[in-house]
Amino acid sequence: MHVAVSSTLPAPRETGRSAPQGDGAQAARREREVIAAFSEITTEAITAASQEDLLKLVGKQLCHLLGVSRCSLYLRRDDGRFFGAAGHCEREGDITEAVKAQEAGIPDDDFSREVITSMTPVLISDVTRDPRPHRRTMERWGVRAMLGVPLVFDDEVIGLVFVDDVDREHAYSDEDIALTTLFARLAALFIRQAMLNARLKDKVAEAVRQRNVLEYLADVHRELTNAVLQGADIRAVVSSLSQLSAKPVVLYDEDFQVVTWAAPPGLRMAAPPVLAPETLAVPSVRAALSALRTGRPSAVVPPTRTLGLGPRNLVCRLVIEGAPSGYLSIVEVGRSLSDLDTKLAERGATVLSLQVLSERRQVEAEGQARDDYLSDLLRGSRDEDQMTRRGLQFGVDLSEPHALVRVCLASGGQQPSASAVRNLVVRQFATSLRGGEPPAVSLPGAVIVLVRLDRSAPHAGPEGLRPAVESVVATLAPASGIRSAVISSVCRSATDFTVAHRELRDVDDLARAFGWTQGVLTVDELGLFRVVLSTGRVKEALRFAHDLVRPLREHDGDDGALLATWRAFLAAEGRVQPTSAALGVHENTVRYRLSRIREITGQDPASLDTLLTARLAFQVLDLAGG
């Protein structure tokens, strides 16, 4: 790139006094001064530590050459605006910081705009009467006369030079203007080179910084992954992130409930610095969080004015197998957030996502092993001592009383998959029983759940389990196709589970055959009917039950008082007084109805044989829905 410096210089837009003609000695002297000035500038350009130092020297040398007391330099930025870069004043010395606060070419600054657009020197001999300069700026700086010269490089104005005598008028000759123009052209070469050097230096510094950041992040990633490989859990990973960032770190689930958190000991925090629900409800915060995705995994949530000042939160999305799975937040406490924190959060979120996925897989594997154990327990295909020992691995102590619950599923229709129903059942049991998820296994048309019975409960045993099972059925039935549930008798050894499982299956088969949808039933409720089930002669039992009650039905129908009285008498275990209380009638009325039952059926309702026979018959009818 070549810049020609000719002896023929452009004339200023407004000239001052002319130099005496033929004064060759003076011209030669000034040329030597220019050469000497640029000799020093050249040395500074080579050795200067910064571009600003070079600009200050250019201003100082120009003041000496023109015999003025002040010079200010402006450079063009990438957006085309001209901002102060350096300044020199003979009285005050370095005025760079004051000049940096200024911008040239702002509205009402026609003087600077003319210098920029004309690309030639512009002189204002009387600032007070000239309308072009920015009035308040001129008054504040005490400018009386000013010369503005463009710094032109490759036909572009890269900067501006302004010279004046503080609080005094100054007459600029044509020679002064020509000298200033020549000086500016030469200075533009050095300044342009200095700008390029500064940019190159910045790029080198940025490259070094990025390399250091990459090395640091590689160390961070190595440290976190090594910690995970050595068995560190999620809490330990979050603690490591807090130490690396020197800030509090909070891990949230999808509902912004705290999973775990950590903070540097020096902050002495007793509780996590969480994002309050009020903050999360702010539209701008919701928008920032909803915009998080794989391509933009993190964002800074600023404090909200309406809710009061608070720390900023750098929030990063956790994505596991393509699904959003929580948030990681680095809180701006103690130190300001930086780009390094962003990289750290994103690296940490990746490691945490892998850790969460690993723990999920481990839980699933353990759950599968536990379900396999339950399958072996139901089949009874393993040694009893072996099953007892294996159970301890899964938190199942067979020396404690347990019960099986068969959750019966409706057939047909659009129902969820077996695994989905199993997961729903297990989670709901954990909620209803207020404990961990119990072992469960999916079978065709049913889910079998193993539940430990609480000996300390007021109603220990299967009957005490009924409320929890009823809650599960009522909650899941509408969406999962659950039809009913049956609770086994108490199981106290490994061999009991095989028998209990067979009984549950028989009851379920019977219920399906009869279309029974009673809700929840315990096997113990069946009483003598369990004996009938074990023989497999259910149809004969049903025919016998219908034969027993047919005379009463023919006499006064299914809803008659006699049939209701017989049921109440059986429920009262053959006692008249509780029967009358249950029916709300007089005891003599009960005795009369019992005598009528004896006359119609030929059976004495109060005899032991008839009590047992009738109880079995009514159980069969109830299960059969008739």
Q: Encode pLDDT of 466-500 as tens digits.
A: 889 999 988 888 777 788 888 988 998 888 999 88
Q: Across residues 281-302, what is the average pLDDT?
A: 83
Q: Could you name the CATH architecture of 392-523?
A: 2-Layer Sandwich (3.30)
| pLDDT score of 10 | 42
Confidence (pTM): 0.45
pLDDT of residue 160: 93
Q: Which residue has the higher pLDDT, 358 or 386?
A: 386
- pLDDT for the residue numbered 47: 65
Asked if residue 34 lies in contact with residue 182, where contact means CB atoms within 8 angstroms, the answer is: yes
Average pLDDT for 41-62: 75
Can you tell me the mean pLDDT for 337-356?
Answer: 83
Hey, where are the domains in the chain?
24-200, 231-269+279-363, 392-523, 538-624
390 pLDDT higher than 70: yes
Pairing of strands 440-443, 82-89: unpaired
For position 177, what pLDDT does the model report? 87
Q: What is the residue-averaged pLDDT of the chain? A: 81
Q: Pick the closest to residue 81 from 160, 16, 136 (CA basis).
A: 160
pLDDT value of residue 558: 62
pLDDT band at 189 (very low <50, low <70, confident <90, very high): confident
Mean pLDDT within 194-223: 78
Over 50: is that where the pLDDT of 287 sits?
yes
Beta 323-331 vs 298-301: how paired, if at all? unpaired
Please state which of the ranges 29-38, 143-152, 195-204 shows the lowest mean pLDDT. 29-38
What pLDDT score does 537 carry? 60
pLDDT greater than 60 at residue 190? yes
CATH domain 231-269+279-363 topology: Beta-Lactamase (3.30.450)
Work out the average pLDDT over 207-224: 76
pLDDT of residue 63: 87
**Sorting pLDDT into bands at 50, 70 and 90, what band is 74?**
very high
CATH assignment of 24-200, among 3.30.70.600, 1.10.3720.10, 3.30.450.40, 3.40.50.620: 3.30.450.40
List pLDDT tens digits, range 407-465: 988 776 667 777 888 888 989 999 988 888 888 888 888 899 999 988 765 556 788 88
CB 562 within 8 A of CB 591: no
Average pLDDT over residues 589-602: 87
- Low-confidence winner among 101-110, 566-575, 609-618 (lowest mean pLDDT): 609-618
Helix, strand, coil percentages for the chain (3-state, nearest 5): 55, 15, 30
Same fold, 231-269+279-363 and 538-624: no
8 Å CB contact between 360 and 368: no
Predicted confidence (pLDDT) per residue in 498-535, tens digit: 988 988 887 787 777 666 666 788 877 766 565 565 55
pLDDT band (50, 70, 90) for residue 263:
very high
What is 538-624's CATH number, 1.10.10.2840, 1.10.3720.10, 3.90.180.10, 3.90.10.10? 1.10.10.2840
Specify the pLDDT at position 49: 57
Helix (H) or strand (E) holding 301: strand 298-301
Give the pLDDT score at 157: 93
Mean pLDDT throughout 178-184? 83
The answer to whether 16 and 126 are in contact (CB under 8 A) is no
Long-range CB contacts for residues 507-512, cutoff 8 Å, separation at least 24:
507/406, 507/533, 508/406, 508/408, 508/445, 508/446, 510/538, 510/623, 511/408, 511/484, 511/486, 511/623, 512/408, 512/411, 512/445
pLDDT of residue 103: 94
Question: Residue range 158-176: average pLDDT?
Answer: 89
Backbone angles phi, psi at 608, to 5 degrees: -65, -45
User: Can you give the pLDDT at residue 46?
Assistant: 60
Q: If you average pLDDT over residues 241-264, what whole number do you get?
A: 90
Higher pLDDT, 173 or 367: 173
Q: Which two tokens stand for residue 335?
A: 């130190």
Task: Copy the structure tokens of residue 238.
Answer: 């979050």
Is 299 within 8 Å of 291 (Cβ atoms)? yes
Q: Per-residue pLDDT tens for 4-30?
A: 333 333 444 444 444 444 466 766 677
At 201, is the pLDDT very low, low, confident or very high (cuts 50, 70, 90)?
A: confident
Q: Span 238-254, mean pLDDT?
A: 89
Q: Are 17 and 171 in contact (CB under 8 A)?
A: yes
Better-predicted residue by pLDDT, 186 or 140: 140
Which pLDDT does position 142 carry in this prediction?
92
Q: Are 191 and 28 in contact (CB under 8 A)?
A: no
